[in-house]
Structure 1
Amino acid sequence: MPFTIIVSLAFIILTDFLFGYRLKKWFQKKGFKTIYLLHSLLFILCVLVIPWVMSKTESPERHLWTSQLIAVIFLFYVPKLLYLVLYGLGYLFKKHLPSLFHIVDFAARGIAIILFIVQLYSITGGRYNYKITNVEVPVTHLPASFDGFKIVQLSDIHLGSYGKNYKGISRLVEEVNGLHPDLIVFTGDMVNNMASEMPHWIPVLRQLHAPYGKYAVTGNHDYGHYVRWDSREAREENMRQFYKNMQAMGFHMLDNTHVPLTCQHDTLWLAGVENWGNPPFPRYGKLDEALRGLSPEAPVILLSHDPSHWRGEVLSHPIPLTLSGHTHAMQAGIQIGNWEWSPSKYFYPEYDGLYREGKQYLHVSRGQGFIGYPGRVGLRPVITQITLKQETE
């Protein structure tokens, strides 16, 4: 934490010093220097307040306040930083191509303003602007009666980030129910840290309906590992309460197990594992246990929170479709038509959308919620409807 605070303070001070240099003509105006200095001191205070808030008694509210402070810092300093980088590039041409320098400077100002507006939208309305995507997946050995079977995948809601703002989650429920899916699955991270984030959302999420039910697995945030518990008993009680709340919401938890879904005497198997991720994330998932008793030809849909599990273990098993979440696509990116970029790609080879290896598929949901930065920049939160299709030769 101290290192992060030092780096953040250095970033703000250096950014404001360089940005202030660009505004030096304005400093001649009465009161401007004082206003600019107070502006910088305010954000320095924000950085210093964050560890103080985090040191208080564990509660969902502290993470909500931290998230809001992070939003304010990002809102003002990311556009500033981008402007300074572009201005610095243009400055290289100032001596020999002054006209190009002025063009770059003007463009940098416009881009920074646009980024400010985009960020402002992302933390006000954009984080609730759900995108519905439809994906068809051919499934090996899929019975004929399940051809066209529709699954809505939800993931990474992070209830603690909403406080008691019901707007986003209520809209999510309406959108999902409007799709009339056969099955709803949730691929982990219902909470930020604590089961106490959940109770007032139970009546809302209980309204999600599908004929074949609602199933879920745990994600890394659901275990309460990021909280300093007073005792092991307190942590275990939090976990028991988490499962109780999930049940109250109508979700059946798949902890390293599987269940049959039957239609006209045909069976589709739904399996789920606990979180399995690369360090520092926990590996509680036991794939062999989840698949125990199933034949290699059985059509299986696997729920596994972290997409790293797919290459780590899943591909060595005859599982035609795995559904994951976890990445959030880092809550930032660019999408133009079918082309997409997100910094998440440098951490996860499979971070958003549908991937294929031979006859095996992985779908990664960038999720509906948010954590840390309370918004989605460029890439909207997504609700995915997956239609299963019989494999064609």
Structure 2
Amino acid sequence: MRSSNLIFIAGLIFILLTDTIFWIQLKQYLNKKWQILLYGLHTLFFTCTLILFQYSVSRLKGPDSYFWIEKLIGLLFLFYTPKLIYTVFNGIGLLLRRCCQRISKLIRLFSGILAGALFLILLYSLTLGRYNYKIETVNLTLENLPAEFDHFKIVQLSDIHLGSFGESYPGMRKLVGEVNRLQPDIIVFTGDMVNNFAAEMSPWITLFQEMKASYGKYAITGNHDYGDYTRWPTETDKRNNLNQFFENMKSMGFHMLNNDRIPIVEGRDTLWLVGVENWGNPPFPRYGKLDVAIDSLPGQACIILLSHDPSHWRGEVLQVPRIALTLSGHTHAMQFGIKIGKNEWSPAQYIYPEYDGLYRHQNQYLYVSRGQGYLGFPGRIGLRPVITEFILHPNR
């Protein structure tokens, strides 16, 4: 509670300070009506919103909690990031006004253009950009892949975080339509269907039943699916929530692979799909048991592994050469990055060596999906949410 109060006080000071500096810089260009609108009402709205949020946040203990918290975060980012950029650069321009008038004008002009552009980028990322899915096709040649599985198609989904969307979200129907259009042989989901609560899934069960694949739909748990990030009245409540999560996944049509495996049979050939529970570096839990999941599999088996956290690849998976392909998620690529051609940058790369896309070590591949949902900031900047289709080929 003490840390919550400190965050609230810091947020309040930030809003009042930023708005005051912004108003001082702009008041010479505006009449009193616009001054009242831009400073008085605008600042009053965000101040009251922050106070209301501080008062009610401790009472948000259900599926809607993330939804409303993320709405506030989105609004603050939308209005105060451009405002902060403007006040800093425009302030520099004002300081240079007496000694370098031409440079001062250019800097102040630049500050306005930059702030305006940033506002539009954020507005897009918070609205249409959050479900502007990129369909990424990856052709992969795998060691020991049986010939019958040539051109076998897998579609990967990950990190949907249903509780972030409330009960009405146009992007979800679009997601199901895009997946069905790809006509996959199997659909795999690599964890974090929810933020915490199984009830987040209730509005979407019927829609997810419409998602079809010839050989079925398979899923694993991510770190958020266990309900570890909220306080439960009792351990029994937490356990019941997890049991309900598994029931909801089953109702959606997913076969859960909890430290388990299943053979995908085509003619006389078999491809093994293996799934483990979450395995991550601290503070993330290690419920995954790879040794149990692959125990007694044939020595020449071609294995595709579902493991939510890409840290598992370096941690254990590379020690098992039979695992030809590992599919992960978790990172979201921090929902922010820049990609120009084949060059990509995201702050996620400073935390995870493998954070987005395809990686290879000898004959083993890892693919990290940046997912379709979001958490915290309710949007995507630069790096679009992705639906990935893998087309498999044997190594002839």
* TM-score when normalising by structure 1: 0.94
Partner of 1:311: 314
Partner of 1:2: 5
**Alignment counterpart, residue 168 of structure 2, candidates 144, 165, 170:** 165
Asked if 1:152 corresponds to 2:139, the answer is: no
Contact kept? 2:137, 2:390, Cα under 8 Å: yes
Partner of 1:328: 332
**Alignment counterpart, residue 281 of structure 1, candidates 246, 271, 284:** 284
**Alignment counterpart, residue 337 of structure 1, candidates 320, 338, 341:** 341
The number of residues matched between the two structures is: 391
Asked if 1:349 corresponds to 2:369, the answer is: no
Asked if 1:358 corresponds to 2:362, the answer is: yes
Partner of 1:77: 80
Alignment of 1:297-308 (within 5 A): 297-308=300-311
Question: Secondary structure of the residue that 1:198 maps to in structure 2?
Answer: helix
Alignment of 1:246-285 (within 5 A): 246-285=249-288
**Alignment counterpart, residue 383 of structure 2, candidates 373, 379, 382:** 379
**Alignment counterpart, residue 184 of structure 1, candidates 183, 187, 190:** 187
Asked if 1:113 corresponds to 2:152, the answer is: no
Contact kept? 2:333, 2:348, Cα under 8 Å: yes
Partner of 2:239: 236
Q: 1:57 to 1:119 in 2, by over 3 A?
A: closer
Partner of 2:32: 30
CA distance in 2: counterparts of 1:108 and 1:312, whole angstroms = 46
Greater shift after overlay, 353-362 or 186-195?
Answer: 353-362
**Alignment counterpart, residue 390 of structure 1, candidates 362, 376, 394:** 394
Q: 1:237 to 1:345 in 2, by over 3 A?
A: same
CA distance in 1: counterparts of 2:279 and 2:91, whole angstroms = 43
CA distance in 2: counterparts of 1:250 and 1:315, whole angstroms = 31
How far the C-alpha of 1:166 sits from its partner, in A, is: 4.2
CA distance in 1: counterparts of 2:377 and 2:157, whole angstroms = 20
How far the C-alpha of 1:83 sits from its partner, in A, is: 2.6
The percentage of aligned residue pairs carrying the same residue is 54
* TM-score when normalising by structure 2: 0.93
How far the C-alpha of 1:296 sits from its partner, in A, is: 4.5
**Alignment counterpart, residue 210 of structure 1, candidates 206, 210, 213:** 213
Q: 1:41 to 1:251 in 2, by over 3 A?
A: same
CA distance in 2: counterparts of 1:88 and 1:300, whole angstroms = 59
Partner of 1:124: 127
- After superposing on structure 2, the runs of 4+ consecutive aligned residues of structure 1 that deviate more than 3 Å are 31-35, 84-98
CA distance in 2: counterparts of 1:34 and 1:87, whole angstroms = 21
CA distance in 1: counterparts of 2:52 and 2:308, whole angstroms = 33
Structure 1 unaligned segments of length 5 or more: list them: none
Contact kept? 1:170, 1:204, Cα under 8 Å: yes
CA distance in 2: counterparts of 1:83 and 1:315, whole angstroms = 48
Question: Secondary structure of the residue that 1:238 maps to in structure 2?
Answer: helix
